[in-house]
Amino acid sequence: MASSSVSSDDVNPFTAGSVAISAATAQLIHIKSHVPVILDLGDSTFGTWRTFFTIAFRKFGLLDHIDGTTDAHLKLDDAEWMQIDTCIVSWLYATLSPDLLSAVIQLDDDAYTAWNAISSQFLDNVVQRTVQARQAFHALHQADMTITEYCGKIKVLADTLRDVGSPLTNQDLVVNLLSGLNNKFAHCVSTISAAWPPMTFLQARSFLLQEEVWIANRAQKAATTALLAASRSAGASSNAPAVGSSMPASAPPATGATGSNGGTGGNGRPRKRKKQAGRADGTSGNSGAPMAS
């Protein structure tokens, strides 16, 4: 008779159901540490908000409170379960903006009812929301936005379309990303388009972020070079004589006498003539030899 025992290698330790936290633990949880998003009707953060909460519910083993698998009315006699459910309602309300909170808050709501009331504010009128989101998605251009801002807006619109049941493919995201780039990144379109295997949206975003850094560094280097050249040009101009200056040229120095008769000497003053003692010897009035009688 074959043995019916099952070896330990055939047992999957991860098949066991999740274990919910206790009510005492739930009361100590600061939900904003796990869901750092305030949901507002004017913002496109519903997808992010819902993702954070879904992760938190899985982490704490509480998905049955909001996925409809457990009827809260059948748990009225389970004080522990009801206490946890009330904690979840307070978590949901604590992450809503004042306007949204006033629209959905109800005194006796359970977690499932509150969850669906909030979701309906963003998922109702599916066709209209889909049309609006698709129009905004295809009309989006980078303009003066950074790559981070531009890609962020693309992702928000893609999440909105996913939430209303009209998800976009990765190729849709990349094509729209490239078609809306400004002229500064126009040279990147051919590089990303020709990549094989094709780049994902995140890979294209990473490539453009690196290109943005390179462009900024090149612009800074060009500005520094231009400033240095202008400084040198200004210094050279200050040392050169002004064009059309009226300053007279320096006169050349005098060189020697200009003549033998009463000319000027080398120092520019007229030379004094020496008195002639006489035209011939013995003609001076002061001669010492007496005349013969």
- What distance in Å separates the CA atoms of residue 53 and residue 34, rounded to the nearest whole number? 8
pLDDT at 288: 47
- φ and ψ at residue 264, rounded to 5 degrees: -100, 155
Q: How far is CA 60 from CA 55, 65, 81, 124, 185, in A?
A: 9, 11, 13, 29, 45
- What percent of the chain is predicted at pLDDT more than 70? 73
Provide the sign of the torsion angle of the four alpha carbons 133, 136, 138, 141, taken in this order: negative
- What distance in Å separates the CA atoms of residue 106 and residue 109, rounded to the nearest whole number? 6
CB 49 within 8 A of CB 93: no
Task: Identify any residues that bridge with 39 across adjacent strands, giving them in sequence order.
Answer: 96
In tens, the pLDDT along 86-100 reads 999 999 999 999 999
Query: Which has the higher per-residue pLDDT, 50 or 268?
Result: 50
HEC string for 243-279: CCCCCCCCCCCCCCCCCCCCCECCCCCECCCCCCCCC
What ranges do the domains of the chain cover?
Answer: 18-123, 126-219
Q: Band of the pLDDT at 41, cuts 50, 70, 90?
A: confident
In tens, the pLDDT along 123-177 reads 888 899 899 999 999 999 999 999 999 999 999 999 889 988 899 999 999 999 9
In tens, the pLDDT along 53-74 reads 999 999 999 999 999 999 999 9
